[in-house]
Structure 1
Amino acid sequence: MTIANLGAIIRSASGLGVDAVLLTPKCVDPWYRRSARVSMGTVFDLPWVRMQSWPEDLQTLKNHGYEMLAMELTDDAIPLNEVEIKAGQKVAMILGNEGRGVTDEALAAVDRTVIIPMHRDVDSLNVGAASAIAFWHLCSAPR
C-alpha cells in the first residue's frame, strides 16, 4: 500500500466512524510525513495497531467475534450494499495492496468477500476511494 493511500484510508476511517485500523507487518508506516499529511493528522487520533503475525492474527479477531470481510474481486464476492450489519455486530474489513489485492492467505481466512458494483466496464476504484465507501456503509449501520 502506498503512503498516500494509507493516509487517505486513515482519514476516511477516522471521519466515517471506524473504531481502529489494523496494519499488516509489511504495511508502510502511517507516521511517515506524507501519510500523516494526507490523513489530515487523524493518524494521531485514530487508534491503530500493527499486527505481529499475518494472517494468523485474523484468527484472533474471529475468536473475538469479528466477522471478517475482504474487499476483493472474487467470483463469490457479494455487493457491499447487500451486507447488513446488526446492532452490536463486530466487523473487520480487509483492504489489499493496490496492485496485488488481498493475499490468498487472508482470503482463505475471511467469512465473505465484497465488491462495490461498478459501471461502464470499470473493474474497481482506488483503494482509498473504495475504503471510504466501505467505511460509510459499515459505520452507518446501528451500533
Structure 2
Amino acid sequence: MSSLVPLDDPADPRLADYVQLREVNLRRLLEAEHGLFIAEGDKVIRRAADAGYEPRSFLLAPRWLESLHEVLAKWPDKPVYVVSEELAEQVTGFHVHRGALASYRRRAARPLTELLRDAPRRIAIFDDIVDHTNVGAGFRAAAAMGVELVLVTPTCADPLYRRSIKVSMGTVFQVPWTRLDTWPGDLELLQDSGYVAAAFALTDDSITLDDLAARHDERLALIFGTEGHGLKPHVLDKADLTVRIPMAGGVDSLNVASSAAVAFYATRP
C-alpha cells in the first residue's frame, strides 16, 4: 500500500498539485512547469493507471482507500493524501465529485511520423477547439467508434486538462494522440502517406457525409474546426475535400463533438 498521509491544512505545500483546479490559466502554467495532469474520479484514476501513467500522488477521501487499493498497491512509494471532502473543496476550488483525485506525470509527446508507422486507417484532427468539454467528448467518440489516432493542432485545448479527461471518461488515455508542430503544414505529411483529408465545413462545393462514406477510402483524416467559426480558409484550401452532415428541422449545424461522433460512426470500416 502507498504511504497514507492524513492532512488537515488546505495550505499544506504537499497539496500544491491540486490547488485551484478550475483556474485554467493557473493550471496551464503549473501543469506545464511540473509535467503533470490531474485525474478525477475512481474510474479515471484506474484508467490512467491501467494505461501505465506514473502517479505523483493521490488525494482521497477515506471512503476511497479500499476500492482503490489495487491501484495504490502498485505504487507503494507514492503518497496518498487522506483528506475530508470539505478540505478537498477548499484546496481545489470546487466540490470534488466522489472525493478522489490523483496527480500523474505526463509523457513526452510521440512524433507524428512514429504514430503513422502503425498505419491507422482513420485519424481525427481537432483544430483550434478551445472548449475542454468538446475535446473530451471528441476523444470519447473517437474511442467508441474505433478511430485509431487523434491529432490536435497547436491552438487546440489540452486533452490532459482535468475537464477534458473527465468528460472523455479516461478514453484520452486509450486513443493514441499527439499535438501537431505545424498546422496545416503537417497535413501534407498525412496526404503524402495516403490519407484523404476530409474537412467538415459548410461550403458550396462540400459533399455529404453519405457521399464520403460511400467512397470507402482506405485512409481518412477527418478534420473538425473550432466552435462557432469552424475551419479557417487556409485549412480548407489544403484539404482534399469538404464534407457536410445533412440536417433536418431547420438546424444548420451540430456541436463539434456531436458532429465528430456522427462522422466517426458513418465512416467506420
Aligned to 2:121: none
Which of 106, 120, 127 pairs up with 2:256? 127
Give aligned pairs, total.
139
Q: Please say if 1:26 is aligned against 2:155.
A: yes
| In structure 1, C-alpha distance between the alignment counterparts of 2:141 and 2:181, rounded to whole Å | 24
Q: Please say if 1:39 is aligned against 2:171.
A: no
Measured against aligned partners, the alpha-carbon deviations of 1:7-56 in whole angstroms (never above 9, x if no partner) come to: 00000000100011010011110000000000010001110010000110
Q: Please say if 1:62 is aligned against 2:194.
A: no
Relative contact order higher in (CA < 8 Å, ≥ 6 apart): 1
User: Which of the two has higher C-alpha Rg?
Assistant: 2
User: Does structure 2 conserve the Cα–Cα contact (< 8 Å) formed by 1:85 and 1:138?
Assistant: no
Percent of pairs with identical residues: 46
How is 1:28-107 mapped onto 2 (pairs within 5 angstroms)?
A: 28-83=157-212, 84-86=214-216, 89-107=218-236
Which runs of no fewer than 5 residues in structure 2 stay unpaired? 1-128
By how many angstroms is 1:104 displaced?
A: 1.0
- Opposite residue 187 of structure 2, the aligned amino acid is L
Measured against aligned partners, the alpha-carbon deviations of 1:92-143 in whole angstroms (never above 9, x if no partner) come to: 000000111011111001111111100122110000111000001111x3xx
By how many angstroms is 1:85 displaced?
A: 4.2
| In structure 2, C-alpha distance between the alignment counterparts of 1:47 and 1:6, rounded to whole Å | 14
Which runs of no fewer than 5 residues in structure 1 stay unpaired? none
Taking only aligned residues, the RMSD between alpha carbons, in angstroms, comes to: 1.0
- Scaled by the length of structure 2, what TM-score is found? 0.51
Moved over 4 A (4+): none
Measured against aligned partners, the alpha-carbon deviations of 1:62-94 in whole angstroms (never above 9, x if no partner) come to: 00000000111111111101112437x100000
- Opposite residue 49 of structure 1, the aligned amino acid is T
